[in-house]
Chains A and B, each alone.
Chain A
Amino acid sequence: MSATAWAWLVLLFPLLGSIAIAIGYRSIPARAAGTIGTVAVALAFACGVAALANLLGEHPDARHHASSLWDYASAAGLDIELGIFVDPLSVFMVLVVTGVSALIHLYSFGYMQSDEGYHRFFSYLNFFVFSMLLLVLAGNFVLLIVGWAFVGFASYALISFWYRRTTATGAGMKAFVINVIGDIGLVLAALLIFRELGSFDYGTVFARAPEAFSVNEWTVTAICLLLMVGAFAKSAQLPLHTWLPDAMEGPTPVSALIHAATMVTAGVYLIARTHVLFELSPTAADVAAFIGLATLLVAGSIALVVTDMKRIIAYSTMSQIGYMVVGVSIGAYGAGLFHLMTHAFFKALLFMAAGSIIAAMANEQNIDKMSGFGRAMRFTSATMLTGGLALAAFPGASGFFSKDEILAYATARGGMYLIFTVLGYLGALLTAVYTFRLIFRILPGRPCEEAQELIDSGHVAHGPPRNPATGEAEDTDIGFPGAEHHIAEQSWPMKVAMGVLAFLALFGGLIQIPGVDDAITKFLDPVFVNSPLAAIRPSVAASWTGLAIGAAISLGGIGIAYWLYVLRPQTSAMLIRRLRPLYTLLVNKWYFDEAIDLLVVRPALAIGRFANRTFERLVVDGLVSGAEDAVGGAGRLVRVVQSGFVRSYALLLIGGFAGLALYFLLASQ
């Protein structure tokens, strides 16, 4: 079978799984639904591997195939096909998405066991995977937009999964609205591309673009900026990032799947996919890179003070995606996508471990109330530590190689791009500190009540169900997590998923070590073969220097965290007192929500209120009631004649005829 046939199968399995679970939810037992969902994604992963094997069997220059099932629309110069595009980039994304998703499905199989909406959950999850695969496999911008919007919907459905929680439905709406802003950007970009280049098809667009546009022409810059709006809304970059921390209202596997491993990387994929356009507009690419840089610093700084466990990891996700965006925007495509992959491993792992601990805490997410889980949950703690080491770029772990490769590229490109190296290392320091703040707060120390209960009796703590965000009692009808909680220590599917990811998080970086091997970059090379930027390669010596600096910074950051949170636990309180204004700024997340509220929401509401109170009342109502009054007034005039007296009608008739007769008589004289 050809690579494209396998790619179609990749799309087919999750779609079938989603439909089967959704239609059969009454007759399928819960465990079977979980199995169907997991197996569907695992099969998709297997097909992805088969497609990879097919591609590897071909000459590198021939590794791109388009395939189409049928025409959506074919008229007057417009030709939109239901077509996919299989090349190393899309296969790479397919493997990351399906691989991590399959493990997350497996994890959910155990974690969501007592949830009231088990079928619904797996149906949504499979639909999400299908949408994401459609997004990465699409062969033209129209299908890309379809996948893009599906992903947005799936994300909404999963964030609001526990729909009895008002905070969850609110967060879902927020995510959806911000994603739609991105969709609009993407749609406008696609239309502009069609106007300028006359096609939606990837192959045609990227072949025509270099001839059609001169460098930094305003049209191509506009296209790139609009694409960025789409990419940054999905990838939670400034200032469209506010939905991601709120999205933590969803179930923890959802946070792992959508808000760490897959959906949020769509923006990175989009920039890599349209790198031809971005290289024609260095201005737009630089803007994107600086936004990525700003995001990685802002998010990293917020993660230092947040106390909600999942939100810390969410801000760290934003920060890491900032690195990827910097990477693919400055031309380090291989490095950016490599970081995407390793990040998917260790971030999914961190979320899974967090989910396990949250379950043990009976849904409490505040890290101030946690401590001593190192003894209570050995497996979970070990995996969390692994994920933390990879995230903090501990020497040898996967994040170490991928993050530093982006920074090494920035150094190699030189000039202005040295800023990215310097501030990137600053971000790395923040990363190490906030990651180990999380770990040192939770794992060591005297066990908290829940951890003690787990040590003493092996029972998971239970409490009355409460909304972790607001503390209010939960509506325990359907659409709530269920009274039972499941931790990795007591559930083999969770254990397997976390074990595999821990292995990948620890050793996944070894496939691309400077001077030793470069599997990812080499595999992706055919996609970026015409790009002069991708040809820049940092020297091995420079890379290792960078790695050494990275290692020092990572260890330094971990040391700082150790000093702050283990040796001198009172220091952080002292720092908070000393730096009160800075702390307030960070705790309030740099006031982005408030700024958006002030700049966008309030003006929009004011316009709405004006439209309602003034425009609607005066202009619209005025026109409508004016027309009504005119008709009514005319009717009132005519009604006077309709007296109901037959004889007066007759008199009018006869008088009228007499008058006419007289007139004609006189006129004929």
Chain B
Amino acid sequence: MNIEWYIVLSSLLFAVGAIGILIRRSPIVILLCLELMLNAGNLALVAFSRMVGNQEGQVFALVVMVVAACEVVVGLGLIVAVFRRRLPLDVDELRELRG
């Protein structure tokens, strides 16, 4: 199979994730979209790894998954904290840190 398809799929996934972050306001959906973008990256890494023929790209993909897991933990923790304080779950409302 040709490498282009993987790259196209990866780009599409990345674009979907990016657009999701830009247009959605729910923090949960934004987190999902972030995961989507990270996994788009993973897909590209693995695809290139196969193409080049060594395992380094796959190792990187594993590292990215670990980072993604950590990020989700922090993100979900934030969301729970926001929820507990009865604040609106809407990123546009949470703008107290504006300059």
Contacts and interface: CB of A to CB of B under 8 A. Distances in A.
Interface string B59-97: 000000000000000000000000000000001101111
Interface string B13-34: 0000010011101000010000
Contact of B99 (A639, A647, A651, A654): A639
Nearest to B27: A646
A645 B18 contact: no
A643 B95 contact: yes
Contacts of A647: 21-23, 25, 91-92
Interface in B44-69: none
Contacts of B96: 644
Contact of B22 (A639, A642, A651): A651
A642 B23 CA distance: 19
A161 to B, nearest CB: 63
Interface in A612-653: 638-647, 650-651
Given A647-B91, A647-B92, A654-B18, A642 B98 contact: yes
A644 B18 contact: no
Contacts of A654: 18, 21-22
B95 A644 contact: yes
Contact of A638 (B92, B95, B99): B99
A643 B91 contact: no
Contact of A646 (B18, B23, B91): B91
A645 B92 contact: yes
B99 A641 contact: yes
Nearest to A636: B99
A645 B99 contact: no
Contact of A645 (B21, B30, B95): B95
Main SS class of interface, B:
loop
A642 B94 CA distance: 13
25 contacts: A638-B99, A639-B99, A642-B98, A643-B95, A643-B99, A644-B96, A644-B97, A644-B98, A644-B99, A645-B91, A645-B92, A645-B95, A645-B98, A646-B30, A646-B92, A646-B95, A647-B21, A647-B22, A647-B25, A647-B91, A647-B92, A650-B18, A650-B22, A654-B21, A654-B22
A646 B22 CA distance: 9
Contacts of B18: 650, 654
Interface of B: 18, 21-23, 25, 30, 91-92, 94-99
Residue picked from B22, B96, B97, most chain A C-beta under 10 Å: B22
Nearest to A641: B99
Nearest to B37: A654
Residue picked from A640, A646, A651, most chain B C-beta under 10 Å: A646
Contacts of B99: 638-644
Contacts of B23: 647
A520 to B, nearest CB: 87
Contacts of B95: 643-646
A639 B94 CA distance: 17
Contacts of A641: 99
| In the complex, the 5 A-B pairs of residues with the closest C-beta atoms, listed nearest first | A644-B95, A644-B98, A642-B99, A639-B99, A646-B91
Nearest to A657: B18
A650 B21 CA distance: 7
B98 to A, nearest CB: 3
Contacts of A643: 95, 98-99
A131 to B, nearest CB: 64
Nearest to A658: B18
B87 to A, nearest CB: 14
Nearest to B14: A654
Contacts of B97: 642, 644
Contacts of A645: 91-92, 95, 98
A644 B91 CA distance: 9
A641 B97 CA distance: 12
Contacts of B98: 642-645
Contacts of B25: 647
A45 B78 CA distance: 88
Given A650-B22, A651-B22, A654-B18, 9 more contacts: A642-B99, A643-B95, A644-B94, A644-B98, A645-B92, A646-B94, A647-B91, A650-B18, A654-B21
A620 to B, nearest CB: 31
A269 B28 CA distance: 94
A122 B22 CA distance: 87
A5 B92 CA distance: 90
A646 B25 CA distance: 9
Contacts of A642: 97-99
A651 to B, nearest CB: 6
Contacts of B22: 647, 650-651, 654
A281 to B, nearest CB: 72
A644 B95 CA distance: 4
B31 to A, nearest CB: 12
Contacts of A646: 30, 91-92, 94-95
A646 B91 CA distance: 6
Contacts of B91: 645-647
A643 B92 CA distance: 10
A172 to B, nearest CB: 58
